[in-house]
């Protein structure tokens, strides 16, 4: 099922998830968050706050739902961003490379990934740090 702001076939809303908990599923994939490349929005403090809360609030809610369900999913996948790493023309990064504390985006990824951490090991936790898509697929 898809968790969405809009109800519809095959969907549950964020409020339904909050009230009823996580439906039975094998995997939870979190792709939620305000589009940082929205051409209709100015990059200001208000928009930065929306970008941050749109990711942290949904991630906290999904992590809580996974933690509280009687039948947790096998995997919890969070898609964040390569902005965790400081830009470089020469460095090669992997998942163990340091980062996450030099600008808005790196701090965002650090907070976002922290919000996704689950206690215990009943659910496999995966973080994918991808590049920002330039357009819709």
Predicted confidence at residue 131, as pLDDT, reads 87
The answer, yes or no, to whether residue 137 has pLDDT greater than 60, is no
The answer as to whether 15 is a domain residue is no
Predicted confidence at residue 135, as pLDDT, reads 62
pTM (predicted TM-score): 0.90
The answer as to whether 70 is a domain residue is yes
In three-state secondary structure terms, 9 is coil
The answer as to whether 109 is a domain residue is yes
pLDDT tens, residue by residue, 84-108: 999 999 999 998 999 889 999 999 9
DSSP letter string, 43-98: -SHHHHHHHHHHHHHHHHHHHHHHHH-SS--SEEEEEEEGGGSPP-SS----TTS-
The answer as to whether 46 is a domain residue is yes
Predicted confidence at residue 43, as pLDDT, reads 94
Domain total of the chain = 1
The answer as to whether 20 is a domain residue is no
The answer as to whether 32 is a domain residue is yes
In 47-91, the DSSP E strands lie at 75-81
DSSP letter string, 108-132: HHHHHHHHH--SSSSSEEEEEEEPP
Predicted confidence at residue 129, as pLDDT, reads 93
Query: What is the average pLDDT score of the chain?
Result: 93
Instruction: Give the residue-averaged pLDDT of 63-76.
Output: 96
Residue 81 token pair: 């961003």
The answer as to whether 11 is a domain residue is no
Instruction: Give the residue-averaged pLDDT of 17-42.
Output: 93
Domain residue limits at 107: 27-85+96-130
The answer as to whether 57 is a domain residue is yes
Predicted confidence at residue 5, as pLDDT, reads 86
The answer, yes or no, to whether residue 80 has pLDDT greater than 60, is yes
């Amino acid at each position: 099922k898809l968790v969405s702001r809009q109800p519809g076939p095959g969907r549950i809303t964020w409020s339904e998830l909050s009230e009823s908990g996580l439906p039975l599923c094998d995997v939870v994939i979190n792709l939620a968050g305000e589009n940082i490349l929205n051409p209709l929005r100015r990059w200001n403090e208000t928009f930065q706050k929306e970008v941050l809360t749109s990711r942290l609030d949904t991630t906290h809610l999904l992590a809580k739902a996974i933690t509280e369900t009687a039948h947790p999913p096998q995997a919890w996948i969070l898609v964040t961003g390569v902005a965790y790493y400081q830009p470089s023309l020469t460095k090669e990064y992997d998942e163990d490379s340091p980062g996450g504390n030099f600008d808005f985006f790196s701090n965002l990824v650090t907070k976002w990934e922290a919000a996704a951490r689950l206690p215990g090991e009943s659910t496999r936790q995966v973080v994918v740090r991808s590049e920002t898509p330039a357009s819709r697929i």
